[in-house]
């Protein structure tokens, strides 16, 4: 790491967990290292996606289904050098568990659901998880659902605690179609979309000469 005093401050990607009703911040999970690459795919939701209706061919039914995939690396080496107590005794177990907790209902929720089922209730609403917000710089702040998580533990200490690991995350962006316009998540999605529009307006346009044609008419 450079000690040059004018070196730019490095921003970290991460996940912010919000209460889905109040929008209060519950937890911030910053990534130790930013991923070297990120794959994004957008599945267009066109009203004329089935074809055959020229009146609908150019209509968009809603926001595309956007998915994000990235690999996250975590390493206990720095913390071990400074003898941080939790890392010295548990390795990376706490950091890995914090990510895995995002895809598990809490034990309290499971026990509560079991108690309700045992009392004879026929229908139990699944527990509501916190709203996860993926932050990748100021222009990418977007609500997501974790759809895929895999963990590769690559090194261990003498007590078999993981000390180096790679986590592969699959995220699905939640739009106003999923969350509604009046929710905190819906507002975050609209801010994400508006940030895209501002960036798109600054893109340099081409001309017909670069395409080798006089026009399209």
Q: How many other β-carbons are positioned within 10 Å of the β-carbon of residue 34?
A: 16
Instruction: Identify the pLDDT of residue 114.
Output: 83
Instruction: Identify the pLDDT of residue 1.
Output: 46
DSSP per-residue string spanning 42-95: EE--BTTTT-S-TTTTT-B-S--EEEEEEEEEEE-HHHHHTT-HHHHHHTTHHH
Between residues 83 and 17, which one has the greater pLDDT? 17
Instruction: Say if CB 146 and CB 102 are below 8 A apart.
Output: yes
pLDDT > 90 in the chain, percent: 60
Query: Which segment of 34-38, 130-134, 152-156, 204-208 scores lowest on mean pLDDT?
Result: 204-208
Burial of 105 from C-beta contacts in 10 A (0-12 / 13-18 / 19+): middle
User: What mean pLDDT is predicted for residues 156-165?
Assistant: 93
Which residue from 169, 161, 167 is spatially nearest to 76, judged by alpha carbons? 161
Instruction: Say if CB 32 and CB 145 are below 8 A apart.
Output: no
Phi, psi of 89 (to 5 degrees): -100, -25
Which residue from 99, 76, 100 is spatially nearest to 87, judged by alpha carbons? 76
């Amino acid at each position: 790491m450079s000690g040059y005093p004018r070196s730019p401050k490095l921003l970290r990607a991460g996940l912010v967990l919000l209460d889905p009703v109040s929008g209060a911040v519950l937890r911030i999970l910053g990534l130790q290292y930013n991923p070297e690459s990120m794959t994004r795919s957008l599945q267009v939701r066109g009203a004329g996606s089935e074809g055959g209706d020229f009146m609908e061919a150019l209509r968009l039914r809603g926001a595309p289904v956007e998915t994000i995939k990235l690999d996250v690396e975590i390493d206990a080496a720095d913390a071990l050098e400074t003898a941080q107590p939790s890392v010295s005794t548990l390795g990376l177990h706490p950091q890995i568990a914090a990510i895995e907790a995002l895809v598990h209902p809490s034990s309290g929720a499971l026990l509560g659901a079991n108690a309700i089922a045992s009392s004879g209730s026929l229908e139990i609403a699944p527990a509501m998880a916190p709203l996860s917000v993926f932050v990748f710089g100021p222009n990418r702040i977007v609500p997501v659902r974790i759809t895929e998580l895999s963990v590769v533990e690559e090194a261990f200490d003498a007590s078999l605690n993981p000390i180096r690991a790679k986590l592969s995350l699959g995220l699905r962006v939640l739009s106003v179609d999923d969350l509604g316009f009046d929710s905190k998540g819906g507002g975050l999605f609209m801010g994400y979309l508006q940030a895209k529009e501002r960036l798109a307006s600054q893109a340099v346009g081409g001309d017909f000469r670069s395409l080798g044609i006089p026009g399209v008419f």
